[in-house]
Structure formats: structure tokens, C-alpha cells
Amino acid sequence: MLNNNVVTSCFAINSENDYVSQFDCLKDNGYQHLFEGISQLSKKIKINNVDERLSNKVKFLENIGLKNTVNQFEMELPINDALV
């Protein structure tokens, strides 16, 4: 997304199923502008894997009405430990 010829945010959307696979803002408080752009392509969206540590992003998504329907768990194990 451009604002006054400056890139402020980016996103990737699958127009066949309205899935937003990636999105982020390069400037503070750019989510409103970003989602105005997304809304020009789709009136309904799906988003997965929003990092809960990104509180500004989560708060914005909640404020525009997106609801968390699934909590996911991130698991990590060094592969060498699993083979012992």
C-alpha cells in the first residue's frame, strides 16, 4: 500500500477464498490504511497465525471485529533430541 508515494504496508490475499496469508505495516498505525485497501478487494477475509506478542496488530484486528476462533500452539523440539 502506498500513502503519498511511500510504501506503508503490504499484504498477500488469495482472491478465490479471501485468505490473507500475510500482512504487515511498515509505518506506525498503518493498519487502518492497509485494511481499507484490502476491503477494496474483498468484503470478507480470513487470517491465520497472528502472533499474540504483536499486541498492536491483535488489538486492531479485534477493534475491527475479527474474532479469534482457534488458538494454535507452537511446538519446538531439536530434531536430534527426538531421534535419541
Q: Where are the domains of the chain?
A: 2-82
14 or 81, which is more confident: 14
15-25 pLDDT, tens per residue? 899 999 999 99
Compute the average pLDDT of residues 40-67. Answer: 90
Residue 67, helix vs strand vs coil = coil
Entry pTM: 0.73
Compute the average pLDDT of residues 16-41. Answer: 89
Q: Are the C-beta atoms of 1 and 8 separated by less than 8 Å?
A: yes
Q: Are the C-beta atoms of 42 and 15 separated by less than 8 Å?
A: yes
What is the rounded average pLDDT for all residues in the chain?
A: 87
